[in-house]
Amino acid sequence: MQEVALRDGLQSEAGFVPTGKKIELVDQLTASGLKKIEVSSFVSPRAVPQLADAEAVFGGITRRPGVIYAALVPNVRGMERAIAARADEVNLVMSASESHNRANLRMAGEASFHAIQEAAALAAAAGMRVAASLSCSFGCPFEGEIPAATILMWCRRLHEEAGIRSISLCDTTGMAYPALVHDLVGLVRQSSPAVTLALHFHNTRGLGLANVFAGLDAGVVHFDAALAGIGGCPYAPGATGNLCTEDLIHALEVSGYTCGVDLDALIKTAQHLEQLLGHPTPGQVMKAGRRLRGPRADQPGPVG
Ligand code: COA
Ligand code: ZN
């Protein structure tokens, strides 16, 4: 599980959350037992002013051993900043959609791929963990359906030509549905068997949790989610909140999976985040309270 509220969440907020508040949130997330937290983005501060304080946030957090503090990076400049800020892992981003790549990153897909190759080499030399995030893997707000062959091609190239073994298929504007998740994951696992897949869903059309269970069924155990369900890409029309972390953990735990997270602490932090943002957020368990019955005991297995 990678918690992405500080990055995917705050990048789409109208206001700037003060650096001290961001640091406090990361520390609370750390205390709740999450093992991977995307802390910020090293992108152009003109493109995403909400995250212009990435260095200061990385510099202010209290790092717990064993927790991975990650950052989104689009290019070599971002990679240099991530190394200087001592990020543990970088999520190197490009889009499976040519139109979305140009809108979001102002370059062609091939140019982004070359930037990723160069950035991945720098990360490897610095001993940093590397993952790739492939936006619009399940559809694009400009182009509609993205052919499976395109996703398979980028996954193969990211692995074979850029040496990246962890790839997140991102559903940037919530166009995924369970059958598509199941099919696409199956195809990627067949075509790039050495790649560890993660799934990044937005709940735009209410299918976030259903998609997770389709992903689990297809063999994926790594998911992104955002506290209180906030989030969205500022360069993708119609983008809305990420799959909500507390809702996901609650759904997994009542289904018998173990996440190693203090759900009550997480709910408190989600409520605190909602107050901080000053508007209602999409999270549901934070409003309903957690279900009291324990999990079924016949489906154990860690989900990360
Ligand atoms: N961090 C900080 N500054 C950066 C940067 C980075 N990673 N990459 C580029 N810049 C700066 C350059 O130094 C240059 O500054 P200057 O005008 O003061 O000289 C300026 O940004 C323009 O650089 P250029 O390489 O021409 O970039 P661009 O304007 O074509 O934008 C990106 C390309 C990728 C940097 C920009 O589109 C971006 O940051 N996009 C990210 C969007 C995002 O985060 N979306 C949501 C997450 S998926
Ligand atoms: Zn996202």
Residues with CB under 5 Å of ion ligand 2 are 8
Number of domains forming the structure of the chain: 1
Among 81, 82, 160, 85, which residue's Cα sits nearest to residue 117?
A: 160
Least confident range from 98-107, 126-135, 254-263: namely 254-263
Nearest CA to ligand 1 atom 35: 44
Q: Please check whether residue 294 lies inside any domain of the structure.
A: no
- Is residue 155 within 8 A of residue 167, CB to CB? The reply is yes
Is the pLDDT at 298 greater than 60? The verdict is: no
| Nearest ligand 1 atom, CA 95 | 48
Q: Is 38 in the pocket of ligand 1 (CB under 6 A)?
A: no
Model confidence band, residue 290 (pLDDT cutoffs 50, 70, 90): confident
Structure tokens given for 141 = 């707000």
> pLDDT tens digit string along 165-206?
999 999 999 999 999 999 999 999 999 999 999 999 999 999
User: Is any ligand 1 atom within 6 A of the Cβ of residue 235?
Assistant: yes
Residues 17, 161: Cα–Cα separation, whole Å: 38
Kindly give the residue spans of alpha helices, DSSP state H, lying in the chain.
19-31, 54-60, 76-84, 98-105, 109-125, 148-160, 178-191, 208-217, 245-254, 263-277, 285-288
pLDDT of residue 192: 98
Does any domain span residue 301?
no
The CA radius of gyration of the chain, in Å to the nearest whole number, is 18
The reply to whether 124 falls in a domain is yes
Residue 297 in this model has a pLDDT that exceeds 60: no
How much is the pLDDT for 294?
Answer: 60
Q: Which ligand is nearest to the CA of 12?
A: 1
Residue 147: inside a domain: yes
Cα 178 off chain centre by: 19
In a domain, 262, yes or no: yes
Distances (CA, A) of 191 to 91, 159, 175, 237: 22, 11, 23, 31
In a domain, 255, yes or no: yes
**Residue 14 falls inside a structural domain:** yes
d(CA 158, CA 77): 19
pLDDT at 289: 86
Work out the average pLDDT over 74-97: 98
Helical spans, DSSP H, in 148-177: 148-160
Q: Which residue has the tokens 């990420």?
A: 242
Is 12 inside any structural domain? yes
Instruction: Indicate which CATH number applies to the domain containing 182.
Output: 3.20.20.70
Please report the pLDDT score of residue 292 as a whole number: 61
SS3 at position 68: strand
Residue 101 near ligand 1, beta carbon < 6 Å: no
Neighbours of 24 (CB within 10 A): 16
Print the domain residue range for 247: 2-288
> Residue 295 has what pLDDT?
58
Name the average pLDDT for the chain: 95
Write down how long the chain is: 304
Mean per-residue pLDDT, 4-18 = 97
Q: Is the model's pLDDT at 220 over the cut of 80?
A: yes
pLDDT band per the 50, 70, 90 thresholds, residue 291: confident
Phi, psi at 167, each rounded to 5°: -130, 135
Q: What is the pLDDT of residues 222-239, one digit of tens each?
A: 999 999 999 999 999 988
| pLDDT value at 279 more than 70 | yes
Closest ligand to 100 CA? Answer: 1
Half-sphere CA count of 236, side-chain side, radius 13 A? 30
